[in-house]
Structure 1
Amino acid sequence: MPRLLLVALLAVPAAPAPAHAAPGASSTPAYMRGGETVPVYDYADAVRESVWVQTTGDADEDGEPDRVAVDLVRPRTEPGVRVPVIMDASPYYACCGRGNESELKEYDANGVISKAPLFYDNYFVPRGYAFAAVDLSGTNRSTGCEDVGGPHEVAGARAVVDWLNGRAPAFTADGSPAVATWTTGRVGMIGKSWDGSVANGVAATGVEGLETIVPIAAISSWYDYTRANGALRSTNYPSFLQSAVSGRVASCTAVTRSLATDSAEETGDYNAFWRDRDYRPAASRVRASVFVVHGVNDLNVTTPQFARWWDELARRGVPRKIWLHQAGHVDPFDLRRGAWVDALHRWFDRWLQGLENGVEREPRATVETAPGVFTDARDWPLPAARPVSAPLGAGVVSYTDESLPEDLAVAHPGAMVPGRVAVRYGPLTAPLRLSGSPSVRLRVRVDRPTTQLTARLVDYGTAPRIQYAWGEGVRTLETESCWGESTAADDACYLDVAQEVSTTDHAVLTRGWQDAAHHVTLRRTTPLRPDRWYTITVPIGAYDATVAAGHTLAVVLTQSDPGYTAAANTGATVEVDLARSTLILPVAGAVTLAPSAAAPHTAHGLTAPARPQRRLP
């Protein structure tokens, strides 16, 4: 799980000179004025075209190299002026749509892109950028196979960067060669969820020409997306994802078989299949700057995805920035629209146009500290944050697996609820700022070879809070706002969105899960013996929040968690030596935490609710 890493402000490379014109042309393109790009090109007159970039693979084993479809919208510039590219590589352009309004690609009668989802083309093309909407391998108009975060998917998207830099061939629909003479070769990848995940993967290849990525609610390890430290989050998930986005499953026998059999669902082990889909170990190859955006209450792509990736990038001094908000799986365009468009504009101007706008010298982190309240910080986790250890108490308590639904598991922390142990700290005499990745280290004895260990941090106290659970914490309004220029086929206007806020008496801050038999390593199981005590750490998802003075913080321990994982109820009874167990919190500021009470119970007999629904990343 993510480690609490305190990082000083790191030096970043000097901005590249804005060299976009051919010899003899003006050194400053018309779209650059006053240190920023401005809209000078007619969006309605933009060049719209499609090319198919050839990759080095043949995932569908048809004897031909796979080709990735790229739909381009680019300004009709003056002779000699070249432009950088904003690229969104996605599996969703035909099946599921992009953005809050689930927009799909649309084509004219000649098969040329007439509508690209999202506002990127509407806003940035008039400002001297091209936009590339890329169908991931095996989706929409691309050939090959969708291998769910794997080598074929990443290689296909990387090939587009190579083509834009003259290193890979591409063809038009009639088979004619296509050469990208109109671009500087500087590429920025952006996208939410799966789209942002492939941006992480391509950056981890170190491909030259990829200057920046903006991963929003993105995956950095597909193992951690489908597993929770050895525990299944959902069964048969890779195969489900492939079938949801690809119409070429029947042509991809080998890949489809691998997704079903090589993912080690029967053990939950981390193996070669998952190493191929883990981008973090290759963080040392990243050349691109990185602008991370994530919701601290994202229950789909959970917070270790950004936190571990962020830590790895920090170790290597990668130029980076982070926005954290309190909603769930949400794009910042649907949360803080004006500020987001401005921040993204300045970020792309800096890293793709080479404009010295000082963005890299600004505070590295922006964090939503209360609903609608965003504050800047020098870094994240907060530089003042330190790990604080809090004992769980004294004596030995036990609890038997009851497959508790979350609302019952966290209700009434002082009550005796079968199947849980709740340890309380407080009421707090001063505000407690958490910033980073908590964990709980348990000294346990288990009467089964394994069980799932679940831990939650809960804030008990009345406060206004964003209602993120499964509704993501936002609602769509009837008004709309426009961001860029429009055509009859592709308008730049989107329904406005507001946060869902209500006052509640408690909230789960963050959660963590650990399969007990994977406590030694995720690469294999180590079954527990009922006569032995073990020290097992349950990592808890990264978080940033302030628990108010007068509130009570609690750690709630349960076992199987039917609302969030697919782990079976083993019927195990877990004994916890409280005196030798510790809650470790990343705390900014001086604080002393002592447990005020523990409420264990060993009775059982509750009925488990239905398993969680599968979700697309």
Structure 2
Amino acid sequence: MIKKHSVLGLFSILFLIVTSGFAQNKTVPVFENGEAQIVEGFTNPQDWIRHDLWVETNFDTDEDGKPDRMHVSVTRPKQTDTEDLKLPVIYVTSPYFAGVAADLPGVMWEVEHELGDIGKVRVHPEVTRRGERPIISNSHLRKWVPRGYIVVHSSSPGTGLSDGAPTIGGLNEALAPKTVVEWLCGKATGFTEREGNEPVTAFWSTGKVGMTGTSYNGTLPLAAATTGVEGLEAIIPIAPNTSSYHYYRSNGLVRSPGGYLGEDIDVLYDFVHSGAEDKRPGNNKRVRDTEMKNGMDRQTGDLNDFWNDRDYLNQMAPMKAALLMSHGFNDWNVMPEHSNRIYQKAKEMGLPTQLYYHQFGHGGPPPMTMMNRWFTRYLHGIENGVEKDKQAWIVRENDKTDQPTPYDAYPNPEAKNVTFYLNKGGNSLGDLTTKKNKKQKTETLVDNFNISGKEHAQASNSNNRLLYATPKLKTELHISGESEITVSLSSSKAAANLSIMLVSLPYEDDAKVLTDNIITRGWADPQNHKSLRESEPLKPGKFYDVTFKLQPDDQIIRTGQQIGLVIFSSDKEFTLHPKPGTELTVNLDKTSLTLPVVGGLEAVKIATD
């Protein structure tokens, strides 16, 4: 006879055998070499569960008396239902998912007018919302769901089926994704309908969330991270706009982003305002026609509290998320300073940080291996050592984007500042040397916005720009970091644009060397020579010293090239277009350029002597 306790023991053994076999048949994430692998059981889109919901925030930016609710869509493997599987989340949020305004005549601000004016009143287009439930977007699904992640999308406030008002960098654009992250961690309330009361929970989430996206979609992960929200473990912003001021202004100057001449913050507001039609008039009155109109200041371009409140560098103190940033050194839309300034602060704060820079334009994610290792480490908790990897990854000239060169940090730790001085002859070609030669006196240029920066660099003689160059390089020269220029100038008028290009000469049109032509560039308003917050009219004939940094770069200048400094006034592609004729006179003896050169002065001497 079998004793009772023996029977119970036998049942326990059988239960363990059965459940062990069952567990072995479960579909779970798989990792190799520190990266999440594609798992066959997660790959069939027909098996994915897709649904949408609304997460309730604690703000009411459309002022309808109810908390704004954000529209959220979820795509997850079926095993999160059938096998009670919990997975981490890749979250993407955007104001673009529901459509944008048409590119109509008069949408942009007029730029052909005198400095200090604002030109004609622009038109305000309406957005026709697109998209059907439950799908907000299909982005990132095929990349991450098969690797054992849930992908979540949401529409930003005042766009698509989300309540609220777009603010283009306002506080609600950080608090909205913060609340979605909190819902994913069980700390906020979600509902099945926009107006309903039936709750829905993220029972399938591990409470570990990562965010990514490009451009505006890359800005919002940083916005969410600056709130310090628990559960947002890692972010990968790609070409993010980290400051509206740095996007629409430059050192006191009204400056457009590349390719969007005349755009300003209110233009972008109209462009994305795809939310409820009945809420748009009220939103327009409060946000666009009051807050933005009173704060954006196209007359002076000065920095003020309106712009400071839309700068995420000022809001980073609570941030805890691990940061991997990506940007292009030749991104003249969202310029490379946007990522560098955040990277430097994150380093200073001691956050896990990596930076990936390539030599191309707007967009461009890090290699999949980098992204995979980042999210595997911080969302799945796999100890793959990514935090011990090199901190800076630079795609060298002519290399493939998935083969970056690792460096200890950015700028290159071996880079040292070298000062160059200007020698007369700039209307044709003056010398740019590390030796300061006294009594170079002054040289003058005449503003003409009709001439592009490229034409200025290519002209053998011109009274519309000044051009100075080093001798032809005998060896390669590696520049890494932010260059800085001081220009001592006087103007024939009370206001003038100041534009700078650092170029590699000869300025060629060959597509193979296109990215080598422009090393870096910058713009400034001489009226702001004392402070970005306060401009003052220039006294004709009086000299002012204007000092500012150019865009960060990491570039190897080829043997046989010359480094050329182009000084001109209005930039056809970026600045306002005042009537041609303003004269800028540059005091060469008090003007200098500082370049961050790997190897410092010794490397310059080897390359130029």
**Residue 231 of structure 1, aligned match among 253, 259, 266:** 253
TM-score (norm. length: structure 1): 0.79
Write the deviation string for residues 399-419 of structure 1: whole angstroms up to 9, x where unpaired.
Answer: 12122312221114xx32121
Which is helix-richer, 1 or 2?
2
Worse overlay, 47-56 or 392-401: 392-401
Give runs of aligned pairs for residues 113-512 of structure 1, distance below 5 A. 113=135, 116-118=137-139, 120-173=140-193, 174-234=196-256, 235=262, 237-248=264-275, 249-252=280-283, 253-257=285-289, 258-332=291-365, 340-373=367-400, 374-393=404-423, 394-403=440-449, 404-412=451-459, 415-461=460-506, 501-503=511-513, 507-512=517-522
Amino acid in structure 2 at the alignment position of 1:427: K
* AA matched with 2:397: A
> Which residue in the other structure is 1:100 paired with?
none
Query: For structure 1, which segment, 196-205 or 77-86, has the greater mean C-alpha deviation from structure 2 after superposition?
Result: 77-86
Deviations 1:180-239 (A, max 9, x none): 222122111100000111111111121221111111111111111011122112446112
Cross-structure match for 1:576: 586
Which residue does the alignment assign to 2:30? Answer: 32
Q: Distance in 1 between matches of 2:89 and 2:372?
A: 13
1:3-36 deviations in whole A, cap 9, x for unaligned? xxxxxxxxxxxxxxxxxxxxx999x982134454
What SS does the corresponding residue of 2:547 show, helix, strand or coil?
Answer: strand
Counterpart secondary structure, 2:396: strand
C-alpha contact 1:461 1:506 (8 A) present in aligned 2: no
SS in 2 for 1:309: helix
Q: Is 1:298–1:328's contact at 8 Å kept on the other side of the alignment?
A: yes
In the alignment, the residues of structure 1 paired with residue 186 and residue 359 of structure 2 have an alpha-carbon distance, to the nearest angstrom, of 42
Paired amino acid for 1:32: V
Q: Distance in 2 between matches of 1:569 and 1:434?
A: 36
Residues 92-140 of structure 1: per-residue CA shift (max 9 Å, x gap): 112159xxxxxx9854xxx322x7332x222322322111111011111
- Cα shift readout 1:566-588 (whole Å, capped 9, x = no counterpart): 25357432221212211011111
What is the aligned partner in structure 2 of residue 81 from structure 1? 85
**Matched residue of 2:387: which SS?**
helix
1:321 maps to a residue whose letter is Q
CA deviations on 1:465-521 (whole Å, 9 max, x unpaired) are: 7xxxxxxxxxxxxxxxxxxxxxxxxxxxxxxxxxxx435697122110001111222
Report deviation, 1:146: 0.7
Amino acid at match of 1:329: H
Letter in 2 for 1:44: Q
Structure 1 CA distance for aligned equivalents of residues 514 and 164 of structure 2: 49
Provide the rounded CA distance (Å) in 2 between the counterparts of 1:505 and 1:330.
Answer: 15
State the Cα distance separating 1:463 from its structure 2 match.
7.8
SS state at 2:367 partner: helix
Give the corresponding residue for 1:561: 571
The residue that corresponds to 2:104 in the other structure is none
Residue 68 of structure 1 corresponds to which residue in structure 2? Answer: 70
Question: Residues 513 and 141 (structure 1 numbering): CA distance in 2 closer, same or farther, change over 3 Å?
Answer: same
User: Taking structure 2 as the reference length, what is the TM-score of the superposition?
Assistant: 0.80
Q: What amino acid is the match of 1:298?
A: D
For the residue of structure 2 that corresponds to 1:224, the secondary structure is: helix
Amino acid at match of 1:169: T
Within a 5 Å distance, the mapping from 1:518-537 to structure 2 comes to: 518-537=528-547
Q: Name the SS of the counterpart of 1:502 in structure 2.
A: helix
Q: Report the equivalent of 1:514.
A: 524
* Cα distance per residue 1:330-374 (max 9 Å; x no partner): 323xxxxxx822221121101111111122222222212112343
For residues 251 and 175 of structure 1, do their structure 2 counterparts lie closer, same or farther at Cα, with a shift above 3 Å needed?
farther
Distance 1:503 1:271 in 2: 40
Query: 5+ residue gaps in structure 1?
Result: 1-23, 98-103, 333-338, 466-500, 598-617
Letter in 1 for 2:415: A
Alpha-carbon distance in 2 for matches of 1:50, 1:149: 25
Residues 559-617 of structure 1 deviation map (CA, whole Å, 9 limit, x = unaligned):
111211225357432221212211011111143659x99xxxxxxxxxxxxxxxxxxxx
What is the distance in 2 between the residues matched to 1:353 and 1:277? 32
Supply the distance in 1 between the matched residues of 2:508 and 2:356 (Cα, whole angstroms).
Answer: 23
| Structure 2 letter corresponding to 1:392 | L
SS of equivalent to 1:370: coil
Q: Secondary structure at the match of 1:71?
A: strand
Cα separation, partners in 2 of 1:402 and 1:464, compared to 1, 3 Å: closer
Distance 1:506 1:151 in 2: 39
Q: CA deviation at 1:85?
A: 0.9
- What runs of 5+ residues in structure 2 fail to find an aligned partner? 1-21, 102-128, 257-261, 424-439
Q: Deviations over 1:379-422 (max 9, x none)?
A: 2111111111111233211212122312221114xx32121111
Amino acid at match of 1:84: P
Higher relative contact order (CA 8 A, sep 6+): 1
Q: CA deviation at 1:151?
A: 1.2
The change in CA–CA distance for 1:459 and 1:186 in structure 2 (over 3 A counts) is: same
Is the contact made by 1:25 and 1:81 (CA closer than 8 Å) also made in structure 2?
A: no
Question: Does the 8 Å CA contact 2:446/2:581 hold for their aligned counterparts?
Answer: yes
The match for 1:494 is: none
Q: Secondary structure at the match of 1:88?
A: strand
User: 1 or 2, which has the higher strand percentage?
Assistant: 1
What is the deviation of 1:80?
A: 4.6
- How far the C-alpha of 1:70 sits from its partner, in A, is 0.7
Q: 1:452 to 1:464 in 2, by over 3 A?
A: closer
Percent identity over paired residues? 31
The structure that has the greater radius of gyration is 2
- Aligned-partner Cα distance in 1 for 2:338–2:71: 28
